[in-house]
């Protein structure tokens, strides 16, 4: 257990949708990218299937993902898109075979349900762009997926606004966890929730009301999820919305204000989430973060550290 086996050219990647419907035509750029990487693709039954907003019924989406989990020829599962629906099938899935023979689960947003649930098995997952709109992301975002899947050295460097608080030069080591804020909030109290103590938490979100960002963060704070972090990383807080009576803060300002009493760095404008430069993050991996003013360097070791 720990790090799933890395891929080799000729390996097969399963593509399914655990949430919203998607057509095969929308997958064309992702299929071409896999071919360029020397990988084969097998499409699940959920691709092209429609039941209202979902990629088929809960039962179909469950059986489709289960088949990919159990199939020995499938070396990684790349989720086709997000939306909503993964939480409706998570308790129906049997991870027994997966625990013995783990494989990379790739996606973000609604796929946070899978990331969080699987984290409790002690198995790494890959928070990264899904198939949909892969062609609209940066080359760095696409290449970061390939590097992780093939087990190549991976370091993430970026220059942002620097840590919002505790901004002195620091080296931080810890296990990276997290995902979509709304999904993490919805999992609190369930068997899929994460233990955040002593870990580095990453959060991002899309299309939320600002007061709801405050509500979600207040819940995480009152539940103790924010107290004992090593660091907090804020990715894209994209297309946030406000009421006619303004909340008075940006999403980032809301988050920073609620954690300012804690003695850990908060990193802003991180290149991951619902943005063009959606870099891959190995969740469950121990990482080393070097914080130097506005320059951030994150080193992912080539294998999981115990």
Looking at residue 186, its pLDDT comes to 98
Half-sphere exposure of 204 (CA within 13 A, CB side): 24
Give the H/E segment covering residue 291.
Answer: strand 286-292
C-alpha count within 13 angstroms, C-beta hemisphere, residue 107: 27
pTM, 2 dp: 0.95
Do 218 and 185 form a contact (C-beta atoms < 8 A)? no
Find the angle CA(193)-CA(177)-CA(21) to the nearest 5 degrees.
Answer: 70
Q: How far is Cα 118 from Cα 283, in angstroms, rounded to an integer?
A: 10
Q: Which two tokens stand for residue 149?
A: 């899947």
Residue 162 is predicted with a pLDDT of: 59
Please spell the DSSP secondary structure of 132-197, one letter per residue.
TTGGGS-HHHHHHHHHHHTT--EEEEEE-S-BSSS-S-EEEEEEEEEEEHHHHHHHTTSTTPPP-T
Q: What is the pLDDT of residues 171-189, one digit of tens each?
A: 889 999 999 999 999 999 9
Low-confidence ranges of the chain (pLDDT < 50): 1, 304-306
Q: Kindly tell me the burial class for residue 139, based on how many C-beta atoms sit within 10 Å of its own C-beta (0-12, 13-18, 19 or more).
A: exposed
pLDDT tens, position by position, 189-220 = 999 999 999 999 999 999 999 999 999 999 99
pLDDT score of 300: 81
Q: Nearest 5°: phi and psi at 302?
A: -75, -10
CA neighbor of 283 nearest in space, from 151, 165, 174, 171: 174
Q: Is 145 in contact with 280 (CB distance < 8 Å)?
A: yes
Identify the pLDDT of residue 179: 98
């Amino acid at each position: 257990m720990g790090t799933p086996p890395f891929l080799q050219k000729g390996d097969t990647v399963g593509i399914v949708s655990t949430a919203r419907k998607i057509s095969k035509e929308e997958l064309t750029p992702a299929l071409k990218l896999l071919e360029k990487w020397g990988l084969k693709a097998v499409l699940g039954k959920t691709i092209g299937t429609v039941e209202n907003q979902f990629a088929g019924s809960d039962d179909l989406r469950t059986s489709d993902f289960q088949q990919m989990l159990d199939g020995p020829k499938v070396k990684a599962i790349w989720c086709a898109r997000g939306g909503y629906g993964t939480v409706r099938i998570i308790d129906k899935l049997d991870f027994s075979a997966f625990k013995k023979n783990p494989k990379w689960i790739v996606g973000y947003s609604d796929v946070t349900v899978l990331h969080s649930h699987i984290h409790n098995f002690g198995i790494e997952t890959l928070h990264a762009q899904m198939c949909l709109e892969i062609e609209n992301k940066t080359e760095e975002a696409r290449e970061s997926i390939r590097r992780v899947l093939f087990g190549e050295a991976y370091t993430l460097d970026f220059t942002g606004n620097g840590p919002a608080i505790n901004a002195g030069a620091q080296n931080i080591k810890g296990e990276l966890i997290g995902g979509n804020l709304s999904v993490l909030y919805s999992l609190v109290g369930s068997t899929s929730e994460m233990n955040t103590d002593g870990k580095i938490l990453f959060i991002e979100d899309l299309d939320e009301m600002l007061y709801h960002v405050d509500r979600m963060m207040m819940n995480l704070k009152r539940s103790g999820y924010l107290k004992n972090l090593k660091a907090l990383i804020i990715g894209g807080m994209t297309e946030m919305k406000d009421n006619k009576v303004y909340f008075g803060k940006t999403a980032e300002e809301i988050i920073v204000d609620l954690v300012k009493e804690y003695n850990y760095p908060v990193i802003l404008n991180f290149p991951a989430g619902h943005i063009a430069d959606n870099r891959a993050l190995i969740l469950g991996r121990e990482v080393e973060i070097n914080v130097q003013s506005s320059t951030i360097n994150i080193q992912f070791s080539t294998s999981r550290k115990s």
